[in-house]
Amino acid sequence: MRDCCTPKGGAYDLAVIGAGSAGFSAAITAAEAGARVALIGYGTLGGTCVNVGCVPSKALIRAVEGLHHARTANRFDGIEGEARVTDWAATVAQKQALVDELRAAKYADVLPRHENVDYIEGFARFDDEGRLNVDGAAFTATKIIFATGSRPHVPAISGIEEVDALDSTSALEITALPISLLVLGAGYIGVELAQLFARAGVAVTLVSRRGVLPEAEPEISEALESYLAEEGIRLASVSGYESVARHGGGVRLTGTEGKSFSAERLLLATGRMPNSDGLNLGAAGIETDASGGIVVDAQMRTANPNVWAAGDVTGCDQFVYMAAYGAKIAARNAVAGATRTYDNGTMPWVVFSDPQVAGVGLSEAQARAAGHGVVTSILPLDAVPRALAARDTRGLIKLVAEAGSKRLLGAQILAPEGADSIQTAAMSLKAGLTYEELGDTIMPYLTTVEGLKLAAQTFEKDVAALSCCAG
Annotated binding site for FAD: 58, 148-150, 312
Cα 387 to Cα 284: distance, rounded to the nearest angstrom: 55
List b or e across 292-310, with b for residues whose CB sees 16 or more CB atoms inside 10 angstroms.
Answer: bbbbbeebbbbebeebbbb
Annotated binding site: 58, 148-150, 185-192, 271, 312
Answer positive or negative: Cα dihedral of 414, 417, 421, 426.
positive
Q: Do β-strands 250-255 and 260-263 pair in parallel, antiparallel, or remain unpaired?
A: antiparallel
Cα 16 to Cα 41: distance, rounded to the nearest angstrom: 9
User: Cα–chain-centroid distance for residue 400?
Assistant: 23
CB 186 within 8 A of CB 270: no
> Which among 357, 448, 372 has a CA at the least distance from the CA of 409?
372
Alpha helix (H) ranges present in 117-253? 188-199, 218-230
CB-neighbour burial class of residue 264 (10 A; exposed 0-12, middle 13-18, buried 19+)? middle
Annotated binding site for NAD(+): 185-192, 271
Helix (H, G, I), strand (E, B) or coil at 272: strand
Cα(first)–Cα(last) distance of the chain, in Å? 60
Cα 420 to Cα 378: distance, rounded to the nearest angstrom: 19
